[in-house]
Every structure is written in structure tokens, then in C-alpha cells.
Structure 1
Amino acid sequence: MSKFKQRGKSWSYHIYLGIDPLTKKRMEISKGGFKTKKEAQAAARLVEIEKQNGTLIKESRMSFEEFAKDWLKSYSRSGVKVSSVRAREKEMKHFISVWGPYPISKITKKMYQDRILDLFERYSQNYMDGIHACGRMIFRQAVELGLMKINPTENFRLPKKQQTVEELEKEEEEINFLEKEELAHFLKLAQSDGLEMDHLVFTVLSYTGLRIGELLALKWTDFNAKQATLRITKTIYNPTNNFEKYQLLTPKTVGSKRTIEIDDMLVKMLKKHEIKQKEIKLKNKPIYKDNGFIFARDDGHPQLRKVFETRLHRLLKKAEIHKNITPHSFRHTHASLMFEAGATIKEVMERLGHTDPKTTTVIYTHVTQSTKEKTSHQFSKLMKGLLH
């Protein structure tokens, strides 16, 4: 319904558009400066037609920061992981820092492109993919809610970084793992000099290829002693390292949900650990909170990742292993040993729950290259024996 007002010698129209879905305030579009009421009515009629056809957009004066924060709330209620919400919150701050108070409807394609290209100079390709994805989601919802006409992210493609030789070499170096002789030495030391559960934890990591979050989330119901299997259906999320404030989330990818076979040695180690844990449970009954975790503290809560990271550094120092080894390195170690034992890339990917073959292939290349070098040395040694 249009209303018309006369002020002095000019006329204006005022058209009610409904309630703003975000601010919950009344929305109205108006325009003045018409010489006659008939001119104002004709202009209002065009707007009414757009409104009826669903093509009318009343651009919002809402600031980018206000909208982005409202968007994050709705995003967090859409069933995504807490870790994903934290990542999006971090990514959108790169936009808020420059556009915070600016009306979201006034952000143009040029402004978006300039901001992305500025950030592109400072951050990695993976992180930029996340920032751009966050930007696309925010502006897509703003357009869907009728708060702006044009999506500034539309048709914009994030450029791909060209890696230098040095970066490629560094990337390969970052995939660290222990050779089998180093692993054997480390595990023996973990058994003789390790603290509570050290030997078990690092043995399970190296013999299964589990992510540390997957390992810490394991419950006794995931362990089948008769079938000698471990079922991986969840991962633990605890960014604050507060033993009571953890969350159990679904694994990293769909392919990460899996059931893997384990050998008899691990089955025996886990059964022995279960007996010991029952003794601790009885001893600490008043304070023990039994949630069925395999790798539990003495109070029943799942052990912290930080604890095993600290203990790993302690053991590596004792073992005089100077590689940059993390709990995740045991995953790479397991993959390398599987390849050395003759497993295929597909078999290793399924066991590790990989969906992207990139990391698996890099490890495979390293192992096969090492095998080629050994074969070459063996051939040279053979020929030297024949020729002399």
C-alpha cells in the first residue's frame, strides 16, 4: 500500500515492505522531489510492480559487522562442528577489521577483490580458501535476505599461489616420520622410561595411524577384542586444554569413520590396560567419572593432547631423535611402514581415513625413493663383486 505526502510544492511516496528479517524493524521505501502527486503515483506504481514480482530489493543500512555476527549465530545453529564455527569467526575478522561499521549493502565487488588480494599476499593458499569461502557464505545470505542487490563475491575466483622450489621442498620436509629402526628404539625407550600410558599410546598411534584426537576419543565400546578391531567414529575437541570442557565431534571427513584391524600384541596391551584401569576406578571411586574412555586420566576424564605432546618431546630428547616429530607424525610413520610392507595407496588411505591422496602419495614417493636407492646400492655392490 502506497502513501503520498506533500511537503511545500513537492510530493513523495512511501511504500511499506514488511519487517526486516534480521533487525525485526519495519521496512519502508520512499522517494520525494516529485512536482505533482500524479508523478509520485506513477513512480510508486513501478515500485509496487517490482514488489509484486519479487524483484524489489531494499538495501540495508545494517553494518557489515552486525550482519556478520548475526550470520555466525545462524551458521552455528546449522549443525556444523564447533571447530568450524571457530574457524569462520577467525576468518570473518579479516573483513570486519576493514568494513566493520560500513553498511553491508555498500560493499562492492571491487572492495571485496581488493581485500582478498591484499590478504592473499600474507597468508597460505589453504587459509585463503577458508577466508574466501567465509566471504561467499556471508554475502550469499545477505543477498538471499534481500539486504543487498549484488553479491560482491559472485564470479570472483581466488588465484592460486605458485609454489617456489624452496616451498615445495619445505612442504615435503614437513611430512616427518620415524624410520622403522628409529620407531623401534623410541618404543623401547617409551616402555622403559615412559610415564603412565606413554608406551601404550605411542604404540597404538604407530601401529594404527590414528589421529591423536581420534585416539583420545576412543571408548571401550569401540574396542572388539574377539575380532581384534578398533572402531573410529569420533574425535575429541578441546582447544582450551581444560580436562572437563571437551567435546566429542564427528571425525575430520566422512572417510574418517572406519573400523580397522589391529594385531594380537595391541589386543593384549589394551586388555592389560583395561584391567589396570578398573583397579584405578575402584581406588578413585568417589571422584572417578566413568564415561568409558580407554585413555582416561585417574579421574575418568579423557587425557589431554597437550600431556602426550609434552611427554613425546621428553622421550625424543632421551632417544636423541632430532626430527620435528609430533603425535601426527606417527600417522605418517604408520603409512610409511605399510608401504614398506607392500600395501597399496588405496589400502593405506582406507586405513588412515584419508579422502585426499596428496599426503599419502608424498609418503609413498619417499618410501619408494628410499627403496630405489637401496636397490641401486645392492646392484652396485653385486657388480663390484663380479668385476673384482
Structure 2
Amino acid sequence: MPKKSNTPIKAYKKKDGKTYYMFKVYLGLDPMTGKPQYTTRRGFKSVKEAQSALTRIQFEIANGTFQKRTYESYRDLYDAWVESYKNTVEESTLNKTLKYFEHHILPAIGDYRIEQLNVDICQKFVNRLHEKLVKARTVKAYASKVLDYAIKRDLIQSNPFKLVEMPKKRAPKKSINRVERNFYSKEELNRLLSLMKEESNRKAYVAIHVLAFTGMRIGELTALTWEDIDFDKKEMTINKSIGRGVENNLYEKSTKTGTSRTISLDDETINLLKEWQFDLKNNLGRRFKKKKQLVMPNEENNYLQQTKTRKWLNYVINKYKPPPLTTHGLRHTHTSLLIESGANMKQVQQRLGHSDIKTTMDIYTHLTAHAEKETVNLFTNSLKS
């Protein structure tokens, strides 16, 4: 009969079906509680690798130099990091961050021991991200934050993500696709609004018009109240937005940059908003709030789902076949038309609420096809004069 092995090394299988090895080591009695203490290590790919780690720990225990680790894996460290991180950001930002980790980071590297993560492992992870995600650089940055947290707590000496190189961007396709051309010319916008006006959905028409004529973000529109509109001065103050929380709830928060801005409104938009306010009062009756009444409420007079404008746009686009456009494309459209009308970048920055002019320059340097043709005409005319 074979002798029973005394080694603490045990084999186990992960969900991927592969066999890994682990061990549990006795550390002695806790001097405070008198209870036995243990430490567990797992994730070893071979008995030899596990035995090497076991021997090192046993040597440290014998010499009194062993320090029990608080975090066994990247996932354990993440759990501690996120408890600290969630107190530093808006709930909507936390919601996005949690999804990055849930869908992309933890499934890939969550089970690695902290000291096991090296440049090669992190580089392969980033390479795979780049193949399937547009926001690979953003996801990499969040994965790196967890290891920065480990450095601050003297758990590791360096962060391998700092040495990882981002793969080069793929060459863009020559054809203009939906993302590249996500804005309308003046003629296209007028046609879109005309088509929406013909439909029976008055709320959809007003919402799309306001987005296109103000350049405000969809979250800012759904948070807008009538107190934010000064009909006499023909101004609108944008000082809040609607975010989506961890529990998928909608809540009021500050604007994206944390600052408010006041913008001028044209006569057409002012008159349209006056008419809409009258209609809304009639429709809501006693439910119309004297204070903090939303300009664009849902049927229950609560926050409107931000996907509604996309559905309204898609309905008209699918029915009448104008060029594709997203809700955010209305903000792009407003910017393009501002530039076409002669507004400088500083004016555009202030109207759109960008934190710095570089953002305006980086994102909105494209003009409409009409503006580009006008530029060529101006150059040609200058040669003839």
C-alpha cells in the first residue's frame, strides 16, 4: 500500500479545465488571539514551482523574516483598491470603471499572484485588448492603477504596466464611415428637423432641436429644468447632468467638467421652448412642479432615459434615409456650424463647456463638407483676384 504523501501541495482545477497547484502553511499561533495562523498560495502551474515557493516561505518562517501577505491575487488587491477609489469619483464614473474590470481586466489577469505579473504578461494582455477594444489604452490605465496601489503599500517594487508599449493604431479606412462623419451640414440638419417636425412626436422634435442648437450633452439636457432658462435674457444655464449609477439608477450630478456655463439662445429656440413649456404644463397638469420641473421628463415626470434620443433619431433616419447620425453627432454638428459661421476655438470651447481649448482642437477640428469646399473656393478666388 503506497505511503500517504505529507506534502501540503495540492492539485486543483480552474474553470478553464487546467490543473494548478496550491499549498497551505502553518505560521504558528496569533499572539493576540492564540488562534492558529495560516497562509495560502495558489495558481502554480507545476509541482516544482509550488515546491520552490513553499521552501522559500518555510525558510522565512524558520528565520523569523516571513511577512504574511494581505492580498493573494490581483483580484484581492483590486477589491481593496476599489473601496478606496469609489470615494474619489462620481457614481457614473465608478459604474464605467467597474464594467472595465468586470468585462476585460479581471477575467484576464485577476487570478495572477501580484508578484507573478511581469512585463510579458501585461504586454500580452494589452495586445489582446488592442485587438478588440477601441478604448484599450483607457482599460490599460485602470489595470495599472491597481498595481500603483500595491506599490504605495510596499507590496511590489515596480509596476510592469509602466513598461508596456501600446500597439500602433491601425491605419484608418479611406472610406468615410459612421464614426468619422458623425455630423450634419446645415442643409442636412434643416432637413432632419423638418422631418422630425412632420412626425407626431413633439417631445422628440423639441429635444433634437435643442441639442442641435445648443451643443449641450444629452446628460445635460435630461437634467435641465425650467429654472435654468431665462426667457427674458434669452439664456440657458447648464450646471448639472444626469449620470447612471452602479445599480443602474439615474441621478443628478455635476457637469462633465464640474463647472457651469451660461449660453445664449436664438429666437427660434426660445419660442420653441416657450411653446413646449405651455404644452408640458397642459399635459402634466397638477404634476407640473413649480420648482425643479424637468424640461424633458419621461411619462412619469422623472428623468428621461438618455437612449430615447437615439431611438427617435434612428426612427426618422430609417424611415426617411438621411445620413446616419448619433445623439452626440448633434453636438458635433453644432460645433461644425459654429466654426463655419466664423466662431473661433475659444468661443466654441466656452459654449461647449470643454475644460481646456486643447480638447476643442483635438476633437472638433473637422468641418462640414460644405465648409471644406468653401475653403477651397476662397483659395481659388484669391489666386484669381
The answer to whether the 8 A contact 1:179-1:333 is kept is yes
User: How many equivalent pairs are there?
Assistant: 336
The residue type paired with residue 214 of structure 2 is T
Q: 2:257 aligns with which of 253, 257, 260?
A: 253
Q: Please list, as runs of the form range in 1=range in 2, the aligned pairs for 1:125-144 lying within 5 A after superposition.
A: 127-144=135-152
Using a 3 Å threshold, how does the CA distance of structure 1 residues 314 and 109 change in structure 2: closer, same or farther?
A: closer
Using the TM superposition, give the Cα deviation of residue 73 of structure 1 relative to its aligned residue in structure 2, in angstroms.
2.8
Counterpart of 1:87 in structure 2 is 96
What's the TM-score, normalizing by structure 2? 0.73
Q: Which runs of 5+ in 1 are unaligned?
A: 1-12, 20-24, 35-39, 48-55, 384-388
- Confirm or deny that 1:308 pairs with 2:309: yes
Q: Please list, as runs of the form range in 1=range in 2, the aligned pairs for 1:215-226 lying within 5 A after superposition.
A: 215-226=221-232
Counterpart of 1:158 in structure 2 is 165
Using a 3 Å threshold, how does the CA distance of structure 1 residues 292 and 110 change in structure 2: closer, same or farther?
A: same
Deviations 1:330-377 (A, max 9, x none): 11211121122111122112211234121211237x564221244478
Using a 3 Å threshold, how does the CA distance of structure 1 residues 170 and 226 change in structure 2: closer, same or farther?
A: same
The answer to whether the 8 A contact 1:290-1:301 is kept is no
Using the TM superposition, give the Cα deviation of residue 118 of structure 1 relative to its aligned residue in structure 2, in angstroms.
3.4
Rounded to whole Å, the distance in 2 between the matches of 1:183 and 1:155 is 45
Counterpart of 1:115 in structure 2 is 125
The answer to whether the 8 A contact 2:240-2:255 is kept is yes
Deviations 1:30-64 (A, max 9, x none): 97669xxxxx7xx65xx5xxxxxxxx975445222
Counterpart of 1:263 in structure 2 is 266
Deviations 1:285-326 (A, max 9, x none): 7xx8974211113431122222222222222344441x1111
What's the C-alpha RMSD, in Å, of the aligned pairs?
Answer: 3.8
The answer to whether the 8 A contact 1:205-1:212 is kept is yes
Counterpart of 1:190 in structure 2 is 196
> What SS class does the counterpart of residue 328 from structure 1 fall into?
helix
> What SS class does the counterpart of residue 361 from structure 1 fall into?
coil
Counterpart of 1:6 in structure 2 is none
Q: 1:73 aligns with which of 75, 79, 83?
A: 83
Using the TM superposition, give the Cα deviation of residue 282 of structure 1 relative to its aligned residue in structure 2, in angstroms.
1.9
> What SS class does the counterpart of residue 247 from structure 1 fall into?
strand
The answer to whether the 8 A contact 1:57-1:149 is kept is no
> What SS class does the counterpart of residue 166 from structure 1 fall into?
coil
The answer to whether the 8 A contact 1:220-1:294 is kept is yes
Using a 3 Å threshold, how does the CA distance of structure 1 residues 238 and 134 change in structure 2: closer, same or farther?
A: closer
Deviations 1:257-306 (A, max 9, x none): 32111112222222222222222232557xx8974211113431122222
Deviations 1:116-148 (A, max 9, x none): 233333333xx12212211221111123234x2
The answer to whether the 8 A contact 1:230-1:261 is kept is yes
Using a 3 Å threshold, how does the CA distance of structure 1 residues 96 and 172 change in structure 2: closer, same or farther?
A: closer
Using the TM superposition, give the Cα deviation of residue 200 of structure 1 relative to its aligned residue in structure 2, in angstroms.
1.6
The answer to whether the 8 A contact 1:230-1:260 is kept is yes
> What SS class does the counterpart of residue 81 from structure 2 fall into?
helix
Rounded to whole Å, the distance in 1 between the matches of 2:290 and 2:115 is 52
- Confirm or deny that 1:149 pairs with 2:123: no
Rounded to whole Å, the distance in 1 between the matches of 2:187 and 2:381 is 20
The answer to whether the 8 A contact 1:190-1:315 is kept is yes
The answer to whether the 8 A contact 1:212-1:327 is kept is yes
The residue type paired with residue 346 of structure 1 is K
Rounded to whole Å, the distance in 2 between the matches of 1:241 and 1:196 is 31
Counterpart of 2:233 in structure 1 is 227
Using a 3 Å threshold, how does the CA distance of structure 1 residues 194 and 160 change in structure 2: closer, same or farther?
A: farther
Structure showing greater radius of gyration is: 1
The residue type paired with residue 92 of structure 1 is F
Q: Which runs of 5+ in 2 are unaligned?
A: 1-26, 40-55
Deviations 1:368-388 (A, max 9, x none): 4221244478799x99xxxxx
Rounded to whole Å, the distance in 2 between the matches of 1:102 and 1:250 is 38
Counterpart of 1:358 in structure 2 is 362
Rounded to whole Å, the distance in 1 between the matches of 2:230 and 2:272 is 13
Rounded to whole Å, the distance in 1 between the matches of 2:58 and 2:205 is 79
- Confirm or deny that 1:98 pairs with 2:108: yes
Using the TM superposition, give the Cα deviation of residue 178 of structure 1 relative to its aligned residue in structure 2, in angstroms.
1.8
> What SS class does the counterpart of residue 231 from structure 1 fall into?
strand
Deviations 1:145-191 (A, max 9, x none): 34x23233364243252441427x65795232222122222222322
Deviations 1:11-41 (A, max 9, x none): xx9898999xxxxx999xx97669xxxxx7x
